[in-house]
Structure 1
Amino acid sequence: MLEPQQHQARSRALRYVLFACGCLSVALGVIGIFLPVLPTTPFLLLAAACFARSSKRFYLWLVLHPKLGPWIRDYLEGQGIPLKGKIWALGLMWASISFSMWIVPLAWVRVFMLISAICVTAYILKQKTRRL
């Protein structure tokens, strides 16, 4: 399950772009560990997807990493998301979306943020809850 399921991108330029996106996503994921408004898991999953298409070596480094790997492996292996993680993710997301909707004056942007939050909430709630 740890092996990348997708083949590497054929274009060398595309591999470089995916690799750069993967590195940026790892950096944002690590920052998200310390900043509650920045989500960790989505960035690490995005990094894993980018590395799977660009660099097998970095993909394996990420999923086997002692601190970052469990965030990805649990999801990839179908173990789900811990209940505490779901509660934190949803709570922080709705708090930040609510604050953003309060300060943004454009109605269409508020509607977009609300629809996005509802979709992300539905996705998170549909995910299996991991038992500790």
Structure 2
Amino acid sequence: MRWLWFCLGWVMVALGVIGALLPVMPTTIFLILAVWCFSKSSPRFEAWLLQHPRYGRALTLWREQGAVSRKGKVFAAAGMALGYVLFFIGAHPGWKLAVCVGLFFLASAAYVLSRPSPREQPANDTEQR
């Protein structure tokens, strides 16, 4: 099972990288899933993601507090809105599909926006250790 979690972790990292390059695909959710997979298979790669200079803070906030930063919420909601607009313009969906996809994006945005914001951290990080 360890190898399955390890491979699945790398699939999630690959999807996260693709999401970082494409404006309509999420990044952080795939990296959250990758951290979870690596927690079951590779402490080394789990630590690598949690300490990543760009995504480590968001991943740690999610793991420790279930929190999403205000900036993260804004980018997620804006990305979903942009994704829906591009879908609507590019696919020319029928009204039923347009409504279903719109409801999916609305539910996803509501979930992200309903997550708590990060709690204040002590000025000295060593106080928590």
TM-score, normalised with respect to structure 2 = 0.73
Task: Identify the residue that residue 74 of structure 2 maps to in structure 1.
Answer: 87
How many residues are paired up? 119
Q: CA deviation at 1:108?
A: 4.3
RMSD: 2.5
Task: Identify the residue that residue 5 of structure 1 maps to in structure 2.
Answer: none
Mapped to 2, the partners of 1:116 and 1:18 lie a distance apart of 28
The 8 Å contact of residues 50 and 60 in structure 2, kept in 1 or not, is answered as yes
Relative to structure 1, the CA distance from residue 79 to residue 112 in structure 2 (aligned partners, 3 Å threshold; closer, same or farther) is closer
Q: What residue ranges of structure 1 are gaps of 5+ in the alignment? A: 1-11
Task: Identify the residue that residue 8 of structure 1 maps to in structure 2.
Answer: none
User: SS of the residue aligned with 2:24?
Assistant: coil
Mapped to 1, the partners of 2:96 and 2:4 lie a distance apart of 32
What do residues 70-122 of structure 1 show as CA deviations (whole Å, max 9, x unaligned)? 22102112172222221121012112123313424344433331221121111
More displaced, 62-71 or 88-97? 62-71
TM-score, normalised with respect to structure 1 = 0.72
Q: Which of 113, 118, 123 is equivalent to 2:106? A: 118
